[in-house]
Amino acid sequence: MNYYNDDTFIYWNGEIVKASEAKIDLYSQTLHYGFGVFEGVRSYKTASGKTKIFKEDQHFERLKNSAHALNMPYNWVSEELIKATYEVLKKNNLSDAYIRPLVYSPANMSFNPNLQSFIVIETWEMQPFLGEKLLRVMTSSFERPNPKGFKIEAKATGHYVNSILASQEAKAKGFDEALLKDMNGFIAEAPGANVFIETNGVVYTPECGNILPGITRATVIEICDGLDIPVVEKQISEDEIHNADSAFFCGTAAEIIGIESLDNISFKKHWNDTLGIQIQKAYKNLVTEKENIKKLQTA
């Protein structure tokens, strides 16, 4: 994957510079201890031809909240970062893009807090993170981080050691992706996406507490409300997911992607007959502004 070349621009601490010219301190606390926060955002070319960052306010708000959760200094204003992101997209000639803001720490080999943070916003073209084919998923031997040990509502760089371990385990065993449980044995989420199941016409998703509360997850709930699909947030057991009619993952990078099987057991419904595919279509229309939530509600 080529993330950048000599002509790529990034936003870096208040300036737009060439990606190849920016430097990071090799003594950064983020690099050594995974003590940083980031976002995963997408922009789309809308039906009217304009470039629109989907739910930009929510993403930059979460970036700020993640930094606060980790006691990282954060003095940026979302509005300015959003403006800068549009500028970077334009400079890079991108419309359908993945956007990666990262807030990182200065040189600090101690565990003491910092007086300063740095920010970079990178953009690149990226297809759906988990592909577009239905997924073969395995229940991971790794659990999601315990909320008593981490600020799990923060999108912190270090948490992704857990994600990478789980994803690599799944791929080494011939699966497409992992599904992780929480420390109580309930279904939690994928390494980089939330999960929904469908059972008897009702859509369920793990309640907040032991998951990253995804912005796409919130969008799916809004879509369900608009489409009159009942949606329930609750603890989901392994048995419940194994007996579900269908299931899907959702996230900014992955968008909405159906799951064919879990631990080699296929879901009962054909993806084309699921509520998931209706939600997937509505999501595509929403991000490209072919449709809005209000329209869904009056349809």
DSSP secondary structure code for residue 132 in this structure? S
Residues 6+ apart with CB under 8 A from 154: 37, 65, 66, 69, 70
276 makes contact with ligand PMP (CB under 6 A)? no
Nearest to 137 by CA among 230, 235, 249: 249
Contacts of 295 (CB under 8 A, 6+ apart): none
CA 248 to chain centre: 14
If one asks whether residue 223 binds ligand PMP (CB under 6 A), the answer comes out as no
Interaction between residue 194 and ligand PMP (CB under 6 A): yes
User: Among residues 36, 101, 145, 192, which is the contact residue for ligand PMP, using CB under 6 A?
Assistant: 192
Q: Which CB, 129 or 269, lies closer to ligand PMP? A: 129
Closest CA to 59 of 17, 121, 12, 105: 121
Nearest alpha carbon to residue 193 among 224, 236, 160, 225: 160
Near ligand PMP by CB under 6 A: residue from 189, 245, 255, 291 = 189
Q: Residues 131-170 vs ligand PMP: string with x where CB under 6 A?
A: ------------------------x---------------
Q: Tell which one of 37, 119, 193, 197 touches ligand PMP (CB under 6 A).
A: 193
Annotated catalytic residue within 52, 55, 64, 155: 155
Residue 104 φ then ψ, to 5°: -130, 165
Q: Per rule CB under 6 A, is residue 101 in the interface with ligand PMP?
A: no
171 is catalytic: no
Q: Is the dihedral of CA 276, 282, 285, 286 positive or negative?
A: negative
Closer to ligand PMP by CB, 19 or 195: give it.
Answer: 195
C-alpha closest to that of 28 among 162, 192, 158, 163: 158
Q: How far is the CB of 1 from ligand PMP (least distance, A)?
A: 18
The correct pick among 11, 35, 37, 40 for binding ligand PMP (CB under 6 A) is 40
CB 29 within 8 A of CB 106: yes
- Look at residue 230 and give its three-state secondary structure: coil
Which segment (210-218, 233-241, 263-271, 287-295) binds ligand PMP by CB under 6 A? 210-218
Pairing of β 135-143 and β 255-262: parallel
Residue 282 CB, shortest distance to ligand PMP, in Å, is 15
Range in contact with ligand PMP (rule: CB under 6 A) among 82-90, 99-107, 169-177, 213-221: 213-221
* Token output for 196: 């929904």
| Single residue of 215, 229, 231, 279 touching ligand PMP by CB under 6 A | 215
Report the interface residues with ligand PMP, using CB under 6 A. Answer: 40, 155, 189, 192-194, 212, 214-217, 251-252
Active-site residue set: 155
